[in-house]
Every structure is written in structure tokens, then in C-alpha cells.
Structure 1
Amino acid sequence: MYPIFETFRVSFFNVNLLRGINEFVGFQNYINIFQDPKMITSIKFTVIFVVGSMIGHIVLGVGLAVLLNVKMAGQKVLRTIVLLPWAMPMVVIAIASKWAFNNDYGIVNDFIRWFNPGFNLDWLVHTETAWLAVIAVDLWKDVPFFAILVLAGLQFIPTDMYEAAKIDGAGPIQTFFKITLPLISKNILILSIFFTMWRLTSFDIVYAMTSGGPGEDTALIAYRITTEAFTNLNTGYAASIAIVLFIVMAILSGLSMYGAKKVNY
């Protein structure tokens, strides 16, 4: 508990190791968070990153889980192959992705040029495309793991229910929305809680892939905390950002757990 209490205490001080400053400022660090243009940019991208990533995780993860649940030859091998991206360290993936999205020699533009020879785009140079690239890499890395966990929930659905639905004339789409999705909804919700927490504290993908660029446009909140603490040595301000992030995560977690209790399936 000591590091948590110490972070909370330091957040009320203006601590700058470069200038040798250590003075009590009360809530000024917290006020500065919402007056700092760089921090506002970080908050904006963090919201876009978390929302975009989680929508992708739920849609693609559930779809992939249903696909992996279909009985076919080589099913176990396929599940193992799908998990390979998740097994790789994010730093390695982010560095490789930095090369992959390069306009001159990147594999992404190389593939697009098969269909559009004149295509040119520096993905990580422009704000919107850098956002898309970071979210896409995050999805490629973690959607397989999300899907495998959803797949575990699918395994507990009795086959008798599907057989009864088939006898009643229900098609695949009706079966999915009336049986499969309701029965795994609590599983999806609980997984979404933890994956959202992980997204909020993401650091390595931005550190290795964009270094917060272009400018400060892809600097996630966790990356901003690290920059303020270990680059600018402004530890008081960094501590206040960390406390705000902790409070946000606690509130979201509490609301999500409350919602999970309300799901009756």
C-alpha cells in the first residue's frame, strides 16, 4: 500500500527534480491536468483508443470465437495458430508495426499497392491514420486472446438448446442472437471490464510504435505519466495524473461489476 499512499501524497506537491523544487501546492496539479493542452490531447486519444479498441474486441472477438467453436478438421491446431499474436511481446509487435506502416518499405502499403499501384500514405505521420494504425495493431495483438476466453464460455452452452432451436425452425442468425449471445453476455461483459482496464493503462504500444507522435497526438495517458515522471522529472504532476486515472478505473470497474450482477444469464 505504501507506493499508492506515497503517489497520493506527492500529487499535492510541486516536485521537480531538475529544478530541485518540492513545495506543497494543494490541488493545483489536478487543476493543471484540465488546463494542459498536451494532457487534453492525451485524454482525447485515450478515449478514442479505448472505445475503438473495445468495440473491435467485442465484435471481432465474438465472431472469431464462434468460428473457432465450429467443429472442423485441425481445430486444435487452428486455435493454437490464432493465439500466436497474443503470445508475442507488445514491444516487439509495435516495433515491427512501425516498419510495417512505413510508406517506402512497409508491408501494409506494399499490399495495398497490389490493387492501387499509385497509393502513398505515411500512416504514422498523420494524426487520424496514426490513430487507426495503433488501434489496428492493438486489435491484432489481443483479439485472439479475447476470442479464446469467449470460446471457453461457448463450451458451456448445452448442445440440446441448439438442437431444440433447430427443430423449432430457428436459423443460424436467430440462434446466435437468441441463444448464443445472451448466454455468453455476462462472460463478454466481465472480459470487457478487464480488457478496458488494460487499454487504459496501455503504454508499450505507443512507446515503441509512435513515441506519442505525430506531435503529441498518440500519447496515451499512461505514456504521458511516464513522460512527465521520467523525462521531465515532474513527479508531482505525474502522480496527480496517475491518481485521476486510478479513480476513473475504479469507477468504471465498479459500474461494470454492478452491471454484471444485473445480467441474469
Structure 2
Amino acid sequence: MTRHVEPEVFLVARPELDFDELGRYLEDVGGLSWLERLDRDQLTPQDLAEFAGRLCYRSFEPGLNPNVTRIRQDQDAYLRNILASAHGSVLEHLSFSFVLHNVSRVLTHELVRHRPGVAISQESLRYVRLSDIPFWFPEWAREDAELMKRATEMLDRMEEFQIWAADHFGLDEPGVEFAVKKHRTSFMRRFAPEGVATGLVWTANVRTLRNVIEARTAPGAEEEIRLVFGRVGELMREECPALFGDYTVTDGAWAPGWRKV
């Protein structure tokens, strides 16, 4: 019986700063007053973005760089200026890792087009044997009774084949080597649709995230990837409001106030 699933997004890793090491560096260059504005117990990824930007101009406080006579004290204002001036390299230091769960291979095939600033580890169906075909149906499809009847019939047949093939190859019999299981499982995965639900760890830096959120929530983007990256956008706005607060969301499309950062 076809199992309907919903795509989910889990934010599983974010940047972590070392307050003491920052202090060692800043003591050497004379910027400890900047560090004193931070709470060592509540450091955020945005602190890293600000630190990297200020290092570029040695603008931790006035006077460290003779060319800098005044500095922005407010972090939000500082980071908004980073975005407005398209100083995007600063944002590449901030990487976040997501688990994209119950997403289709339709989505993952599109997502691999975004390569700069990205790391991917995807569930391998060469090793992971399918016992069913978990599948996401958009709401409009679920409302079409005849479509659902025909679609689920096809998926049920594919599920039956996976179970039959495993038995036919004797994959669960004692003593079957893993190399044999892998070889047969790789063959069996060819009979699963691109829409089968899978999972991956997807890591991207903030510069890339800004681009992908805009591109993959645009009105012309594929509907599943729009759903997933709308959620990614929500998570990032919670994590880094100063770096993602310039977006306006209209009918699910995320448009940044500053492009080509």
C-alpha cells in the first residue's frame, strides 16, 4: 500500500564561535572593545559574519585603521550594510547543515545544480534496499480521485516488485555476502520512480543559501522544492534575522531586498 509522506527540513548544525580564541586575536590587534559587546554564552552565527567583515577593514573600533574614523555599533545595521554593499564573501564563513527528509529524487536532481559553497551526503539506494515506495502527493493531486487511483496502482506494483525481487534473489537468506546484496539492490533501485522519498544532508553557506532560497521558491520553480526551501527560508530567518530579514514573501516566493550578495 502506497505510503504518503511529507517533505521535512531539520536544521542539524550551525557555526560555533570560540570566544577565547577571538579574544586572543583581538587583544593582539587592539579590538577587545568589540568583543566586550558580545555575550560569550550567547554567541550567534551573525557574530561570525560581523567579525569577518570587521577584520577586512580592521574596524573593530575607531583608530585601529587610520582610514576608519567612525564605525557602526549596531550589529543589525552593520550586517544590513554588508548586504547592501554586496560584500558576500563575508557570508561564506557561515555554513548550516540541513537534513532534507522524505524529499524526492526529483528534488535532489535539481538541487545538485547548486554546487558552490555546498556539501551533500545522500541516502544511497545502492545500499539501502527499498521495501516500499514512500511518495509525496501535492494537495491538488490528492483531490483528483481518478489520478490517485491510477498513480497508487502503479506505485503498489513497484512496491510488489521490490519485495518479490528481494525474495527472488534470496537477499535475506543466511550467509549472503553484502557485496551480493549491494549488487542486486543496485539493480532493484532502477525500478523505483524519481518521486520515491529519500533523504540527504545538505550543507551550504549563507551566500549560497540566499541564492538558492530565492531561486527555488520563485513562482516557476518545481512545487516540491518551493515547499522545502520556503521552510529553509523560515529557519534561516529565525537563525539570522539580520542576514535574511530583507526578504519579502509573496505567495511563497522569497525575494531579497539585496541581490547578488
Q: TM-score, normalised by structure 1?
A: 0.27
Larger radius of gyration: 2
Higher strand share: 2
Q: TM-score, normalised by structure 2?
A: 0.27
**Structure with bigger RCO (C-alpha 8 Å, 6+ apart):** 1
